[in-house]
Chains A and B, each alone.
Chain A
Amino acid sequence: MGYLSSEQFLRSVKRRRAQDKLFMVVVLAATLVSTLALIVIFVTLSVESVSFFTRVSVIEFLTGTKWTVLFADKHFGVLPLLNATLMTSLIAIAVAGPAGIAAAVYLSEYASQRFRNFMKPVIETLSGVPTVVYGYFALYFVTPNFLRAFWEDLSIHNALAVGLMIGVLTLPIVVSISDDAMKAVPYDLRLAAYSLGSRKIDVVFRVVLPAALSGVVASIVLAFARAMGETMIAAIAGGFRPVLSFNLGESMQTMTSYLAQVATGDAPHGTIEYQSLFAVGLLLLVITATLNFIGLKVIRRWEIRY
Chain B
Amino acid sequence: MTAEEEVLERIKVIISERKDEVGEVVEKDAAILTEDLSVSYHGRVAIEDISIKFRRNAITAIIGPSGCGKSTLLRSLNRMNDLIPGALVSGKVLFNGIDIYSRDVDPVYIRSRIGMVFQRPNPFPMSIFDNVAFGLRVNGFKLTKDELRKRVQEALVKAALWDEVKDRLDAHAYSLSGGQQQRLCIARALAVEPEVLLLDEPTVSLDPISTSKIERLLVALKHDYTIIIVTHNMQQAARVSDYTAVMMPDENLIGRLIEFGPTKEIFTSPKDSRTEAYISGRVS
Residues of A participating in the B interface, judged by any CB pair closer than 8 Å = 186, 188-199, 202, 206-207, 210-211, 305
A202 CB contact (under 8 Å) in B123, B138, B185, B188:
B138
Q: Which of A191, A194, A199, A305 has the largest number of chain B CB atoms within 10 A? A: A194
B278 on the A face (CB < 8 A): no
CB pair A199 B138 closer than 8 Å: yes
Chain A nearest CB, measured from B137 CB (Å): 7
Cβ–Cβ < 8 Å partners of B115 in chain A: 195-196
**In the complex the two chains form, is A305's CB within 8 Å of B108's CB?**
no
Chain B residue with the shortest CB-CB distance to A199: B108
B102-154 CB contacts (< 8 Å) to partner A: 108-109, 111-112, 115-116, 118, 120, 122-126, 134-135, 137-139
With contacts A196-B115, A202-B138, A211-B124 known, what are 8 further pairs, Cβ within 8 A?
A188-B118, A191-B118, A193-B134, A193-B138, A196-B138, A197-B192, A207-B124, A305-B125
B: interface residue count bin: 20 to 34
**B38 close to A (CB within 8 Å):** no
Q: With A195-B189, A196-B111 in contact, is A210–B139 under 8 Å at CB?
A: no
> Out of A189, A195, A207, which one reaches B80, CB within 8 Å?
A195
Q: Out of A186, A188, A190, A206, which one reaches B138, CB within 8 Å? A: A206
State the CA gap A211–B172 with chains docked (Å).
12
The 12 sampled A-B contact pairs (Cβ below 8 Å) are A190-B83, A191-B80, A193-B134, A194-B83, A196-B112, A196-B188, A199-B108, A206-B134, A206-B137, A206-B138, A207-B124, A211-B124
Closest Cβ–Cβ distance, residue A158 to chain B (whole Å): 43
Cβ of A292 to closest chain B Cβ, rounded Å? 25
In the bound complex, residues from chain A placing their C-beta under 8 Å from that of B139 are 196-197
Chain B residue numbers with a CB within 8 Å of A196 are 111-112, 115, 134-135, 138-139, 188-189, 192
Note all chain A residues with C-beta closer than 8 A to B135: 196-197
CB distance from A278 to the nearest CB of B (A): 45
Instruction: Flag if B185 contacts A197 (CB, 8 Å).
Output: no
Contacts of A202 in B (CB 8 A): 138
Task: Let me know if A192 and B185 touch, CB within 8 A.
Answer: yes
Identity of the chain B residue whose Cβ is nearest the Cβ of A197 in the assembled complex: B112
Inter-chain contact A188/B122, CB cutoff 8 Å: yes
For residue B34, CB closer than 8 A to chain A, the reply is: no
Residues of B close to A206: CB separation below 8 A: 134, 137-138
Which residues of B lie under 8 Å from residue A207 when comparing CB positions?
Answer: 124
Are the C-beta atoms of B111 and A197 separated by less than 8 Å?
A: yes
> Which residues does chain A contribute within 8 Å of B57, judged by CB atoms?
none
Contacting residues, chain A, for B111 (C-beta < 8 A): 194-197
Query: Restricting to B186-209, which residues have a CB under 8 Å from any CB of A?
Result: 188-189, 192
CA distance in complex: A202, B139 (Å): 10
* Contact call A195/B125, Cβ cutoff below 8 A: no
Taken together as a complex, chains A and B put the C-alpha atoms of A190 and B189 apart, in Å, by 14
Query: Is B226 in contact with chain A by the CB < 8 A criterion?
Result: no
